[in-house]
Amino acid sequence: MEIYRNGILAGTLTEESRHRYVFEYADSYFNDDSKPAISLTLPKTQKEYSSEFLFPFFFNMLSEGVNRKLQSTQLRIDEEDSFGLLMATAQYDTIGAVTVKPIAVK
């Protein structure tokens, strides 16, 4: 999925397997010193980050408790599929400057 900060493409987040996630800054965003990091935990000191877990910054964009259960039921997404829920729920109305969108197929 593509990660946007204030409507500007900042990078991509991919789920390479159930236990490997990769966030990579877009070249144009990474090389522009006027653009801040999307998170303190994902500083612009390196272009690519990988993790065995969905990065806490993105995980914290998700609903919790009853709201998460309701979303997963309505969207027919496994409640444990944080990546799928993130893609389905963080496209439009998020708290903060970051939104996500599916990668456009060209």
Could you list the residue range(s) of the whole structural domain that residue 37 is in?
2-101
Residue 81 lies in a domain: yes
At residue 106, what is the residue type? K
Please, what is the end-to-end C-alpha distance for the chain in angstroms?
14
Residue 106 lies in a domain: no
Across 69-96, average pLDDT: 86
Across 68-72, average pLDDT: 90
List C-alpha distances in Å: 18 to 4, 35, 46, 79, 105: 23, 31, 23, 14, 22
User: If pLDDT is split at 50, 70 and 90, which confidence band does 105 have?
Assistant: low
Instruction: Please tell me which residue, 79 or 23, carries the higher pLDDT value.
Output: 23
Q: What is the pLDDT of residue 12?
A: 96
Residue 11 lies in a domain: yes
Per-residue model confidence as pLDDT tens digits over 8-61:
999 999 999 878 999 999 999 999 999 999 999 999 999 999 999 999 999 998
The total domain count for the chain is 1
User: If pLDDT is split at 50, 70 and 90, which confidence band does 103 have?
Assistant: confident
Closest CA to 59 of 82, 88, 42: 82
Residue pair 31/16 in contact by the 8 Å Cβ criterion: no
Q: What is the pLDDT of residue 96?
A: 77
Q: Residue 94 and residue 101: Cα distance in Å, rounded?
A: 12
